[in-house]
Amino acid sequence: MSKPLVALLTGAGVSTDSGIPDYRGPNGLWRSDPDAEKLVTYAYYMGDPEIRRRSWRMRRENAARAPEPNAAHRAVTELERSGAAAVRVITQNVDGLHQRAGMPDRKVLELHGSVRGVVCTECQARSPMEDALARVDAGEDDPPCRECGGVLKPATVMFGEALDPMVLGEAAAISKACTVFAAVGTSLQVHPAAGLAGLAADHGARLIVVNAEPTPYDDRADEVIREPIGTALPGLLRRISA
């Protein structure tokens, strides 16, 4: 018998225990500071050098805080290493904490990109975020692309940008093929990511929702868990691997 394939769709709730704010949540930054949303909106970012300078400063401060993976990230890695199941993570988070917790890069699909890299908006050249931040430290307040001089942005999907169709296609394939699909710490309100839960259920996966608040997919779920993720997820994943 082949191993069960466990797909985990993870959202902001998985990283809040690592001190990363849920920007969209009820106490989110974008509610308290509407201007902050401009920092991650493509048209503002491209059109206003001051927005870019502010955004680089903010990333530099965030990098200095260096969030650590928490119990939820570690539990996912443990399940993968136990060999009891094939594990794929589909994440809406851009923090790279699943990989920091030991998940292999190839097993993590980052729907909204990653803050670990930067990309040129002209020639699409990619480079590490730390190199760009080193240039900011050295006094370049809006470092241009070294290849072509174009505007650099973090390798995240900003508002006004489309998701990478390759990544989305892979996520859909995993959702169709998996035995268990657990949506963890996501409100399942943002499409197309949310639709993956329905896709998985349509193709026969056991659908599990782990989230503090109700989601539009709770009615379709085989199991809904409302406990805090840091305690609920390790228990759930141990059960899956047993």
Q: Which is nearer to Zn ion, 136 or 172 (CB)?
A: 136
Q: What are phi and psi of 78, to 5 degrees?
A: -60, -45
Would you count residue 195 as binding Zn ion (CB under 5 A)?
A: no
In three-state secondary structure terms, 96 is coil
Q: How many CA atoms lie within 13 A of 108 on its CB side?
A: 25
Pick the closest to residue 20 from 168, 236, 229 (CA basis).
Answer: 229
- Which of these ranges, 8-16, 67-75, 112-120, 193-201, lies near Zn ion under the rule CB under 5 A? 112-120
Tokens of 65: 């805080």
Residue 145 within binding range of Zn ion, rule CB under 5 A: yes
How many amino acids of this chain bind Zn ion (CB under 5 A)?
Answer: 8
In the complex with Zn ion, the residue whose CB is nearer, 46 or 224, is 46
DSSP 159: B
Strand 108-110 vs strand 86-91: parallel, antiparallel, or unpaired? parallel
Binding marks (x or -) toward Zn ion, 15..44, rule CB under 5 A? ------------------------------
Please say if 191 is a catalytic residue.
Answer: no
Rounded to the nearest angstrom, the gap between the alpha carbon of residue 164 and the centroid of all alpha carbons in its chain is: 13
Which CB atom, from 147 or from 222, has the smaller least distance to Zn ion? Answer: 147
Find the Cα–Cα–Cα–Cα dihedral 71, 231, 217, 110, rounded to 10°.
0
Count CB atoms within 10 A of the CB of residue 48.
Answer: 13
> With binding defined as CB under 5 A, does residue 152 bind Zn ion?
no
Check binding of 148 to Zn ion (CB under 5 A).
yes
Burial class (CB in 10 A: 0-12, 13-18, 19+), 187: buried
State the nearest-atom distance from the C-beta of 124 to Zn ion, in Å. 7
78 vs 122, which CB is nearer to Zn ion? 122
Window of 82-90, 92-100, 113-121, 182-190 that interacts with Zn ion by CB under 5 A: 113-121
Kindly state the smallest distance separating residue 121's Cβ from Zn ion, in Å.
8
Binding site residues, Zn ion, CB under 5 A = 120, 122-123, 125, 145, 147-148, 150
Which residues carry out catalysis? 112
